[in-house]
Amino acid sequence: MSARESKEFSTEIVKREIENNSGDANNGDDGSVSFSIRVRPKLPDFLSSVNMKYVKLGYGYLIAHPSYFFFFLLVPLLVSLLAFMASRHNNQFFTWEYFTHDVLLFVLPLLFFLYFYPDILNSRSTYLLDFACFLPPNHFKISKAEFIELARRSGNFNKEAIDFQERALKKSGIGDETYMPRSVFRPEFRASLNEGREEASMVMFGAIKDVLESTKVKPNDIRILVVNCGILNTTPSLSSLIINHFKLRHDIHSFNLGGMGCSAGIIAVDLARDLLDAYPGSYALVVSTESVTYSWYGGNDINMLLPNCFFRMGASAVMLSNFRRHRWRAKYQLKQLVRTHKGMENKSFKSIHMREDSEGRRGLSISKDAIEVGGHALKANMTTLGPLVLPVSEQVHFFTNLMFKKKKAKPYIPDYKLAFEHVCVTATSKKVVDEIQNNLGLTEEYMEASRKTLERFGNTSSSSVWYELAHLEANLKVKKGDRVCQIGYGSGFKCNSVVWKALRTPAKPTKSPWIEDS
């Protein structure tokens, strides 16, 4: 660890921030970046240095992908041909007839190949037809003051636990209209499978119903189903619950992901994309949720109370396809997806885990290292993603600086605002969102969707990034050609990112979680 990093995470600093900012924490129930009261709530300055290992990994992905490889191979060839043509035609011998002949002979075939190279390489794109996010009924709304009052009246928490949750909520960035079941405040409440299933069914079925209506896809036409829920894993599985309710086809390829945290929504998209490649011309339904009822902790261990403060009800359903003809009706095209897993490091692996307290109550425990390992995971992921999304000019500037910079000078950090127009970061705590904004050099406009989602819906786990995209669409922020980057964290420790390109300008939705009377 460098001297600077050692200073940032010294015991003295940690102790001071515990006293002043213990409430700035993030729900870590599903593996998202979270604060422990023993951790200074500040991300490491991951853009102050560049790990070449991850830069090489990014370019490795670039070369390994056939379409990218041919693109970067043919562009220089096209430039060379144009230079050759220019050398043949000087002012003395130039004629329009010769120039037209060269265009037809050299340039047009290359342009034709560049336009159709995905089809020539038999590469199918993944299209996002539409998505939906569940809006719970109004009777589930709960304010921060009501949360504390119900927690106090339940008798499940001592004064220290109540005071801690009150401080955490006050500085969390969460508003007074988030949703959660009040049944968790019953005296001596213990999570049950029945209540967990009921909540999961309500939010998942609602989101799926909306996406089926908007896409006009029949349930029997869905060939692939991927469901993710971090804490609640039942038998039969949640994917079987959906198949039974919507009467999906008997030969459907269904998968149920558990224990993967907030980043599971992006992992599910990755799995669906691979399955679509294996079964071309198919529909894939991706469902992301978490159960507040089943993840609730009713004890007094301070390290296990943070999920209670941040975790809220929610679910998303995303309809994907790789039908080539669907390009003209789809909203987005999947451009890049990068997954980073730091589980080989013990500090990362142990940072967030499910355990029981001294009284046998189950809950999610957040270690003092969670924020540090989360920052390093984000650094690794963004460094890997850079070569895939940054303009060539930025990459040239980066490598020029890297090759000729002085030994003690900091490396040039690319401007990620040039890579995408919108960023959706898992809605955690206000402090985490602030630190990510500062470290990535993003403007307030880039963070608006994350902040608004945190305030309005809290942390809805793996579906959070979809509520943020819904916010962008409801406010007509997305235009044709815009690139949207979704970033999610997860226990393990994982950081995953996916980049979508808008194929058209989405119209203002008639049904959205941001439009209550919809």
Catalytic option among 326, 341, 376, 471: 341
Catalytic status, residue 485:
no
CA distance 495 to 74: 33
Catalytic status, residue 89:
no
Catalytic status, residue 20:
no
**Phi, psi (deg, nearest 5) at residue 482:** -65, 150
Lookup: tokens for 426: 């898992």
Neighbours of 176 (CB within 10 A): 14
Catalytic option among 133, 262, 309, 424: 262
Catalytic option among 27, 228, 459, 496: 459
Of 319, 462, 436, nearest to 382 (Cα)? 436
Catalytic status, residue 262:
yes
In three-state secondary structure terms, 502 is strand
Tell me the pairing of strands 253-258 and 283-289: unpaired
| Peptide bond preceding 420 in cis form (omega within 30 of 0) | no
The residues with which 332 forms a beta bridge, in sequence order, are 128, 502
Neighbours of 90 (CB within 10 A): 8
CA distance 179 to 311: 9
Lookup: tokens for 161: 């636990």
Catalytic option among 326, 376, 422, 471: 422
CA distance 132 to 287: 10
Lookup: tokens for 104: 């037809």
DSSP state of 30: T
Query: DSSP readout, 271-285?
Result: HHHHHHHHSSS-EEE
In three-state secondary structure terms, 449 is helix
CA distance 474 to 335: 23
CA–CA distance from 449 to each of 44, 121, 301, 434, 516 (Å)?
A: 23, 37, 33, 13, 17
**Phi, psi (deg, nearest 5) at residue 433:** -60, -40
Of 156, 460, 149, nearest to 314 (Cα)? 460
Lookup: tokens for 338: 């990068």
Enumerate the active-site residues: 262, 341, 422, 459
